[in-house]
Structures are given as C-alpha cells and as structure tokens.
Amino acid sequence: MTIKIKNTSTNPLPEYQTAGAAGMDVRANLDEDLHIAPGTTDVVPTGLFLEIPEGYEAQLRPRSGLALNYGITLPNAPATIDSDYRGELKVILHNFSQLPFIVKHGDRIAQMVIAKHERAEWQLTDSLSDSDRNEGGFGHTGRN
C-alpha cells in the first residue's frame, strides 16, 4: 500500500526501524525546544500531512522508551488519524513524571501504525445471544 505524504519539516519521513516493526517513528518539527512541565500536556507538530486511503487509519502510539524512562505518553493513545483528515499530524504528549521534559526538533516522539478498519452497520434488536461471559467485565476473571 502507498500513502501520499507531504513533509514540510527537515526531518526524514517516518520509517520502520527494524524488519519486524509495526510502527514507524514520528519526529517533532520545532523551531525551538518545547518544555513540558510535570503533570502537563502539550501538542507537538510534526510537519507531516497524510492522504490515507479510505478503509485505513493511522494510529499514533507512545514510544516505550519515552514512557518507561521519562513518563512521557500519549493520553489519547492510540490516537486515530482518519482517511479524510488533511491537516498537519500533531502528537499530544503528557508528562506523568515529576521532572520537566524537553522536546527538541527531530526527537522521535511517537510511533505511527497504519491499520485497516471496517465500517460497522447497526442492527437494532431487543435481545442478544448468550455467551460464556455474558455481563461479566472489569476483571471478573481474576487477577491472573
């Protein structure tokens, strides 16, 4: 599959880092460093604009190293970029740590996964079939 992309940044295009990688790294496009204070959220531009084919979406996900080492994550993960969106791809980052976090131009800030999806049609009904689980939820099968 081919996706049209416009890159207004000086960063390389998103790319897979290994042969088995599902996500491509997305980089920050900044004129100056962005300081994210502890407990706050900010939006980071990428300079990327996508034309995703209908029936697909781009999902933005946190980078595990940023989450583990710095407490930086995407509060809306996975973020969905719809096929009809043509604006700049921006990443919402939240700092869960006790320390300020600095984002620099070119930093890898998220991973992008391209995923196929289906569109559902609702069938209104008064009853649903039984299952082994039925209404059990929120940990009803135990901790392990």
Tens-place pLDDT, residues 115-133: 999 999 999 999 999 887 7
Confidence of residue 143 (pLDDT cuts 50, 70, 90): low
Q: Is the link from the previous residue into 75 a cis peptide, with omega within 30 of 0?
A: no
Q: Give a yes or no: residue 27 inside a domain.
A: yes
Q: Give a yes or no: residue 124 inside a domain.
A: no
Order of strands, edge to edge, in the sheet holding 24-27?
A: 15-16, 24-27, 108-116, 56-61, 79-81
Q: Give a yes or no: residue 144 inside a domain.
A: no
Number of domains in the chain: 1
**What domain range is 56 assigned to?**
4-116
The answer to pTM > 0.85 is: yes
Amino acid, single-letter form, for residue 21: A
Cα separation of 119 and 20, whole Å? Answer: 28
Contact between 109 and 26 (Cβ < 8 Å): yes
Tens-place pLDDT, residues 58-72: 999 999 999 999 999
Q: Give a yes or no: residue 110 inside a domain.
A: yes
Tens-place pLDDT, residues 72-98: 999 999 999 999 999 999 999 999 999
Order of strands, edge to edge, in the sheet holding 72-73?
A: 4-7, 41-51, 88-95, 72-73
CATH of the domain at 23: 2.70.40.10
